Amino acid sequence: MRIVAVIDIGKTNAKVAAVDLDLFAEIAVRKTANTVLAGGPYPHFDTEHLWRFVLDSLAALNAEHAFEAISITTHGATAALLDADGNLALPVLDYEFAGPDSLAADYDAARPSFSETGSARLPMGLNVGAQLYWQQKAFPDRFAKVTSILTYAQYWTFRLTGVRCNELTSLGCHTDLWNPKAGSYSSLVERQGWRPLFAPVLKAGDIAGALLPELCAETGIAPGTPVSCGIHDSNASLLPHLLTRASPFSVVSTGTWVVMLAVGAEPTALDERRDTLINVNALGDPVPSARFMGGRAFQLLLGDNVVAASPETEAGVAVARHMLLPSVPEGSGPFPGLKATWTCDEQALGPAERFTIVSFYLALMTATCLDLIGARGDVVVEGPFAGNATYLRMLAAATGRPVLADPHNVTGTSLGAACLVKETNVRTGAEPLTGAVPAGLVDYAQAWRIMAKRHADKENRS
């Protein structure tokens, strides 16, 4: 088996990639925006647009590359509620919709403790349990028609195979639905009476089934082509390293969210108030993790006006102590209650200076998260930030540990999902950052930490 189709649905964008397992690289890709529809009972993902895109892309890419298997990875914090006919009983809720917050007090009384689930209490619909609780209360008639609850990657597995299943990494990512120590559903699922609605649990690499015959006819993909169960995107980024790298190390998976996963971490008490949590990896093991909305911050702060910085610009910003203090956006990450503050005149900054300050900020937020979860050893950066040398240099300065990245291959999720099909030839391509870390960046990192603490103390007093 050599050529795999990977369906990779992120919060902002979706793609279908052809992955050559011998080369362990993407050889073709098609992309689209992951749009949110404002109409209906609440903001929800445009699943039919995505479905049409997936089928068209599978057909177009298969014509050139002849797929032998299909694998799926998606963002987390999302579930699909199916009726007996396999249709959506309710639209797939956009987790940035604040509707579930209207029942926050009631849900807080019902949800399990952090010690049971390793799942921090998050706003909006970022806990899948909060989504389900709100949907059941707000739409009782439609919820009563639900016969299956599927985690998001497995919804697409169902559309491809007709098989209803759930999966460990998707259940074990801040859902409130899973007890990672016991390896079973949480007490919330039992108390709310949801347990009969959850489809059987598979591991990410299990074959859920074969591509449906009518889809084989539509796409030209060979009958009997296997479809893997699927995996949560951050764990997809982790998987190649889990298979090839000795512990301890940490993986920084970057996209709309920056998610840190620390393998072989120093034992430390996680602070759920600072967006630390337990994820369950593809092997079923708990992994200390932390997260913040780094990709969203990059887009909000820079938009399309991205001008890479020279080392001279970085040095000038470091000497001037021009900083952005947390947090963008508010509501998640290690400083969830803080309002962002610039220590300089934001309007006077040139594009390269602004890029530098934002990249420094993102690296220092990453380093803070890594500290909170007891990360040790190499720091491996996956995703778009792997191509941001300014971010990487500051991350090395702030952590004092080796930082590795492959700027030529920033699609860790797709390659990780391909590992579910075949583990041989897995390689990451991540290389250590070269050159000495400038002392000025180390000094800047120390100063930022002091300023961020003062900023937090001031906000907490007000």
What's the CATH number where 344 sits?
A: 3.30.420.40
Co-location of 282 and 361 in the same domain = yes
Q: What is the pLDDT of residue 459?
A: 75
Co-location of 213 and 68 in the same domain = yes
pLDDT average, residue stretch 267-282: 93
| Residue whose C-alpha is closest to residue 45's, from 17, 70, 72, 14 | 14
Residue 241: inside a domain = no
Tell me: pLDDT of 1 over 90. no
Q: What is the pLDDT of residue 410?
A: 58
Question: How many residues in the chain?
Answer: 462
Residue 342: inside a domain = yes
- d(Cα 358, Cα 246) in Å, to the nearest integer? 32
- d(Cα 457, Cα 178) in Å, to the nearest integer? 34
Q: What is the pLDDT of residue 423?
A: 75
DSSP-derived secondary structure for 28-95? EEEEEE--EE--TTS-EE-HHHHHHHHHHHHHHHHHHH--SEEEEEE-SS-EEEE-TTSSEEE--B-T
Residue ending a domain, among 186, 204, 229, is 229
Residue 237: inside a domain = no
Co-location of 214 and 319 in the same domain = no
Element of type H or E holding 27: strand 25-33
| pLDDT digit string, tens, across residues 299-350 | 999 998 799 999 999 999 999 999 999 999 988 899 998 999 999 999 999 9
- d(Cα 99, Cα 80) in Å, to the nearest integer? 17
Pairing of strands 226-228, 378-382: unpaired
Co-location of 29 and 92 in the same domain = yes
Q: What is the pLDDT of residue 430?
A: 87
Co-location of 220 and 250 in the same domain = no
Residue ending a domain, among 198, 229, 260, is 229
Residue 235: inside a domain = no
DSSP-derived secondary structure for 139-207? -HHHHTT--EEEEHHHHHHHHHHS---EEHHHHTBS-SSEETTTTEE-HHHHHTT-GGGBPPEE-TTSE
Tell me: pLDDT of 101 over 90. yes
Q: What is the pLDDT of residue 394?
A: 98
Co-location of 66 and 94 in the same domain = yes
| pLDDT digit string, tens, across residues 235-244 | 998 999 999 9
| pLDDT digit string, tens, across residues 242-261 | 999 999 999 998 988 999 99
Cis peptide leading into residue 329 (ω within 30°): yes
Count of beta carbons in the 10 Å neighbourhood of residue 200: 9
| pLDDT digit string, tens, across residues 419-450 | 999 877 888 888 999 888 999 999 999 999 99
- What CA–CA distances, in Å, run from 144 to 84, 136, 186, 366, 381? 11, 8, 21, 42, 43
Co-location of 260 and 190 in the same domain = no
Co-location of 155 and 280 in the same domain = no
Tell me: pLDDT of 409 over 70. no
Instruction: Give 207's pLDDT tier (boundaries 50, 70, 90).
Output: very high
Contacts of 55 (CB under 8 A, 6+ apart): 215, 218, 219
Q: Is the dihedral of CA 297, 103, 169, 369 positive or negative?
A: positive
Residue 294: inside a domain = yes
Tell me: pLDDT of 462 over 70. no
| Residue whose C-alpha is closest to residue 276's, from 288, 264, 286 | 288
Instruction: Give 383's pLDDT tier (boundaries 50, 70, 90).
Output: confident
Tell me: pLDDT of 461 over 90. no
**Range(s) of the domain holding residue 380:** 246-461
One-letter amino acid of 312 = E
pLDDT average, residue stretch 13-29: 94
Give the chain's mean pLDDT: 94
Q: Which residue has the higher pLDDT, 391 or 409?
A: 391
Residue ending a domain, among 204, 229, 254, is 229
DSSP-derived secondary structure for 354-372? HHHHHHHHHHHHHHHHHHH
Percent over 70 (pLDDT), the chain: 99
Q: What is the pLDDT of residue 388?
A: 95
Give Dmax (Cα) for the chain. Answer: 64
Element of type H or E holding 228: strand 226-228
Q: Is the dihedral of CA 280, 45, 8, 295 positive or negative?
A: negative
- Which regions of 242-376 does DSSP assign to beta strands (E)? 249-254, 258-263, 276-280, 286-292, 324-325, 341-342
Q: What is the pLDDT of residue 113?
A: 96
Give the total number of structural domains in the chain.
2
Co-location of 182 and 257 in the same domain = no
Residue 170: inside a domain = yes
Residue 147: inside a domain = yes
Q: What is the pLDDT of residue 106?
A: 98
Co-location of 123 and 168 in the same domain = yes
Co-location of 216 and 362 in the same domain = no
- d(Cα 202, Cα 230) in Å, to the nearest integer? 9
Q: What is the pLDDT of residue 457?
A: 86
| Residue whose C-alpha is closest to residue 267's, from 294, 286, 243, 284 | 286
Co-location of 174 and 272 in the same domain = no
Instruction: Give 119's pLDDT tier (boundaries 50, 70, 90).
Output: very high
- d(Cα 204, Cα 206) in Å, to the nearest integer? 6
Residue 239: inside a domain = no
